Amino acid sequence: MSDVTQILTAVRAGDDAAAERLFELVYAELRQVAAQKMAGESPGHTLQPTALVHEAWLRLGADAQPHWQNRAHFFAAAAEAMRRILVDRARRKQAQRRGAGAEHVELDGLELAGPVDDDQLLALNEALDRLAAADPTKAELVKLRYFVGLTTDQAAKVMNISEPTAKRWWAYAKAWLFREMQTAGQG
């Protein structure tokens, strides 16, 4: 049983200090993943891995953690939280470009930018929602790989599937999403 799973068990048992231990353990792992993901970004991007991890933690419940079933459940929720953060940011920026609101004040002072522009991120989000309706497990893999930045091996472990299966699902999901985004862009 992993350290994360043991701490999640302690959270379920009502251990108040377990949420803090969970944050300390998961923060380092998520921060490292976010930093690795951002290392491949073009110079000048303003995404701060620390900000993304902190925002995701807050959306996951911070010190009032829900009852996670296991490590996979937690990381799936973290992937979804990161995805929503990036998509919400892209929507706000897109609305601003279209003249929504007279004055936009950025409270956190940070720009969360993904590896694609806002329009592409929103198209990816819509295509990912359609993939989730058709094949939820492959959509989860995409969230873990793309939004959390896990490697194929790491995502396979979180999802409790073999690495070859994860590689096949990843190849399928990328092709499926590409086709969906191309089709949506033509319509």
Report the pLDDT averaged over residues 161-175. Answer: 92
Give pTM, 2 decimals.
0.56
**What is the sign, positive or negative, of the torsion defined by CA atoms of 56, 118, 155, 162?**
positive
* Most confident of the ranges 62-66, 77-81, 111-115, 127-131: 127-131
At residue 163, the pLDDT reads 93
Of 135 and 87, more confident: 135
Question: What's the angle, vertex CA 20, arms to CA 17 and CA 26, rounded to 5?
Answer: 135
At residue 131, the pLDDT reads 93
At residue 99, the pLDDT reads 53
The single residue listed with the structure tokens 């200090």 is: 17
Of 116 and 127, more confident: 127
